[in-house]
């Protein structure tokens, strides 16, 4: 506790010292409070930033999956059909080229033994006329 001033001139000096100590204590406390508040605010901003980045990543991921799902269910466009037609034509040309390189088809033994209906009809007709 502050000592009692013995003279009237000491009163202003002691009062000034008390006021200075109070101001210093208040400023120090305010500085610590300001630092604590700034630290808490920085932590909060960092947390909000992390939440925002996470949300943006999840939104982008869902957007990609929705786009893929829609693309898979969407009917073929005119360009898609043209592309498929071109691919089929190319496959047909390749198949024709392969078939041309193959040797001529031979009759199998089953085909040689089984007479066709026309041949049988001609034979019966020729037998009748004799």
Per domain, the residue ranges of the chain are 13-101
pTM: 0.36
Angle 97-99-104 (CA atoms, 0-180°, nearest 5)? 135
Give the pLDDT of residue 81. 94
Is the pLDDT reported for residue 108 higher than 70?
no
DSSP H helices in 1-130:
10-73, 78-101, 109-113, 117-129
Highest mean pLDDT out of 13-27, 53-67, 71-85: 53-67
Give the pLDDT of residue 69. 86
Answer yes or no: are the C-beta atoms of 18 and 2 closer than 8 Å: yes
Is the pLDDT reported for residue 93 higher than 90?
yes
Cα-Cα end-to-end distance for the chain:
156
């Amino acid at each position: 506790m502050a000592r009692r001033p013995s003279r009237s001139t000491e009163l202003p000096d002691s009062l000034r010292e008390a006021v200075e100590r109070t101001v210093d204590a208040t400023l120090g406390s305010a500085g610590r409070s300001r630092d604590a508040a700034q630290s808490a605010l920085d932590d909060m901003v960092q947390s909000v930033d992390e939440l925002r980045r996470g949300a943006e990543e999840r939104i982008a991921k869902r957007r990609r999956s929705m786009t893929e799902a829609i693309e898979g269910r969407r009917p073929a466009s005119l360009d898609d059909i043209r592309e498929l037609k071109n691919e089929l034509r190319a496959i047909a040309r390749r198949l024709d080229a392969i078939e041309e390189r193959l040797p001529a088809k031979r009759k199998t033994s089953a085909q040689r033994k089984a007479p066709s209906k026309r041949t049988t009809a001609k034979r019966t007709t020729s037998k009748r006329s004799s």
